Structure 1
């Protein structure tokens, strides 16, 4: 089990890299995360949802993603706390304090999923959540030491030297953990190192001597990590890329942005300057296209969009002849009205939309989860992606759908002048044919990028990185 001294120390990438490295050695490997909290999710082949990181780790393991790989997923949802997903399906809503009472009831589902993966695999690599030292949440824990103890899974602790204080991170974890929990930790990895590794030799020795844990690796920063889907929106908000030459596509970073890996293929295009617009900044006046991304709290994010003044920028952009595209929650925002009669997102029962599409949306309790493929009518190109939404949308502009599924169903809407469009389907820009046609439709240059291939190349590079800098033989010995 790979646990961390905190969030964003690189646990997810370490697990993905180890999974691909051990698969390359001929082992059958499965990733597992007992409990995850993320609004970046993926749809499994059987119509469930799991954290995006576990879908990437499944890919690293050369497996189809399964709901057993992430049996409990928490999706923060505005004023209502978090949506609780158990084995891929909605189990209810829970506030942070109330969720503590859920954990003991969820443990059987977690252990059953783990047992299934363990029976099918040579090696299961488990990812913890947040920090191993969250002793205030230790009662009934299913995410870190509570799971490790229940499953008798030896733990390797990862610390992040890039943020500073890694010696205190690792030694401090041992200091605050219960002695029996601390005894589960067999070794440690220091991640995201930059510079001359020999300068930290004494640091590695000190940690090993002070804790009694094996030093398993000092891992340099992996630059190609930016090519892999991120799970944590904190990293997204901290992102400040140098502007590139090319068509400007602007994306306002909404507080409850979801499935933001929709944007990764556009970011990877050499002819696109993808601008992630932070709170307090204006949408760039030279934007060729504005994308409203997916949201886990559409009404709340619509209010935030207005509070930032982005609605004014967007309307001005459209008046100048600019284009706008909404994905899922962003699609709903482009319409005239959003209704929430069942309080799915909170106390606001109805909100006026941006009025750029002649559509209305009603949020419902039913969640649509499916992988889909078909043809994008707006650019006459094939596509594949996935649906993950609550809500039903109707209106005059739906008579001009953006997408036609292979089974004949339509999705999305296009304005009369063709400059405003939206759809519920995520992941369409990963499709090289669709992305190329879409960029050409906004007079942007499309490269020869093969996006899916680039993900596998990055995973292979990550595996080689782990082989060089982590003692994989020692990890196998610990696992046995």
Structure 2
């Protein structure tokens, strides 16, 4: 069996490629097709662990869920995890192979095309349909040479393309028409149609815009998609969205989370944000952590030493220590857990910067970075309540010290994480811990939440994927879009 394939590319970043790929995966699944998502190259510190080890972009894990599949490293064969403004860890088939400066990676990325094609061919041999997601935009023609993420892949694999434009950004006519204008003829010929995304209001008001785009590009429009409210329930993907600050009710539990510069796996916050009785606030750089916070959470980071320095540069260390001194709760997850200890050593620079730094000293533990990354899906029990928990670990380093004798969870019969003597400071390497309903609700109750909590998080995500599929199917000519799919190797 060889699957048919189609590719979604965008006029820019954040136009909705990931969400629409998930929607099409769920639509195809509901139609009885065996469908799989695929992203040749992704750049994100928001990652997911796969069964059997290895990591992929979190967006591809959500797309796998939409398709009814377990996440697999073939769904995202090349993942770049930024460690500084100019360097990244390079993950191939789920495992780190190098740390590279951006210029060096760009000069040699075409050497990874074989790895990309190996994964793509395995997926196409196992499914009826593969939905491919591009990265950034094909209009970045300065990056076209040696490209493996957009038209470089589409041309090499022979996969037709649908182009997505974001009307919310403004200038969607110019962005779609302009993309056609800057592409060479061979690349432009791969595009078989376009979609206008994130429309608010009456879509008939854009009929003349559709006509203008079609006449100037020769591409048909597959539909105008409205703003999709279901996305608010789905796990965060590649960027933290700062919600408008709202005044919290008096009995609301206030949770604040500083936005670290290399923050990773921040979708750990999503179940908390949906929980009734919780007011969750991201704290952007340059702003103090609110003094009336009940809980402060430090999420993961791709560079613990780098973000320790960043945290101190914002003055957040003073806010966190003052909060703890007055009896406030603090939780650290993964890199945030490492920061709460007394010391972090990274002698080989495996997590970004080499060297060492004092931690916040709120937990009596210390961390030594190792060269081996621990990546696994896992399960166990809450150490306090014995409630079941599942999640995943993606981290470098080993954390040891007296407070680990008072663990946060028990995973595979082994203690994991640490709690302070008074129980108010906690740390764990377990991502996805708040997706466990019983654990989350008991943890929030201990933190002081008083509202009735009945959120079934995983059910809510599944319901949101169904709603997403229904809304997209109502707005698109899905039959025409899926008919565009071709067997790989067809280049028109």
When normalised by structure 2's length, the TM-score is: 0.95
Q: How does 1:307-326 map to 2 (within 5 A)?
A: 307-326=313-332
Write the distance in 1 (CA, Å) between the matches of 2:431 and 2:108.
30
Match of 1:143, SS state, is: coil
- In the alignment, structure 2 segments of 5+ residues that lack a partner are 1-6, 487-492
Matched, 1:342 2:348: yes
Q: Aligned residue for 1:240?
A: 244
Contact in 2 for aligned 1:439/1:446 (Cα 8 Å): no
Q: Aligned residue for 1:63?
A: 69
Q: Aligned residue for 1:146?
A: 152
Work out which of the residue numbers 134, 141, 164 in structure 1 matches 2:170. Answer: 164
Contact in 2 for aligned 1:33/1:128 (Cα 8 Å): yes
What is the CA deviation profile of residues 134-167 of structure 1, one whole-angstrom value per residue up to 9, with x for unaligned ones? 1111111110000000111000000000010000
Match of 2:24, SS state, is: helix
Match of 1:78, SS state, is: coil
Matched, 1:453 2:456: no
Runs of 4+ deviating beyond 6 Å: none
Matched, 1:105 2:96: no
Match of 2:70, SS state, is: coil
Matched, 1:434 2:439: yes
The count of aligned residue pairs is 477
What is the CA deviation profile of residues 113-146 of structure 1, one whole-angstrom value per residue up to 9, with x for unaligned ones? 1011111111110000001211111111110000
Write the distance in 1 (CA, Å) between the matches of 2:384 and 2:336.
18
Write the distance in 2 (CA, Å) between the matches of 1:278 and 1:477.
45
Work out which of the residue numbers 395, 413, 419 in structure 2 matches 1:414. Answer: 419
Q: Aligned residue for 2:360?
A: 354
Contact in 2 for aligned 1:302/1:333 (Cα 8 Å): yes
Work out which of the residue numbers 187, 197, 201 in structure 1 matches 2:193. Answer: 187
Change (3 A) 1:435 1:96: same
Work out which of the residue numbers 213, 216, 221 in structure 2 matches 1:215. Answer: 221
Write the distance in 2 (CA, Å) between the matches of 1:85 and 1:239.
31
Q: Aligned residue for 2:489?
A: none
Match of 1:114, SS state, is: helix
- In the alignment, structure 1 segments of 5+ residues that lack a partner are none
Contact in 2 for aligned 1:371/1:386 (Cα 8 Å): yes
Work out which of the residue numbers 92, 98, 106 in structure 2 matches 1:86. Answer: 92
Work out which of the residue numbers 265, 271, 284 in structure 2 matches 1:259. Answer: 265
Offset of 1:46 from its aligned partner? 1.3
Contact in 1 for aligned 2:82/2:88 (Cα 8 Å): yes
Q: How does 1:264-303 map to 2 (within 5 A)?
A: 264-303=270-309
Write the distance in 1 (CA, Å) between the matches of 2:40 and 2:223.
25
Offset of 1:78 from its aligned partner? 2.2
Offset of 1:239 from its aligned partner? 3.2
Write the distance in 1 (CA, Å) between the matches of 2:18 and 2:137.
13
CA-atom RMSD, angstroms?
A: 1.2
Contact in 2 for aligned 1:379/1:438 (Cα 8 Å): no
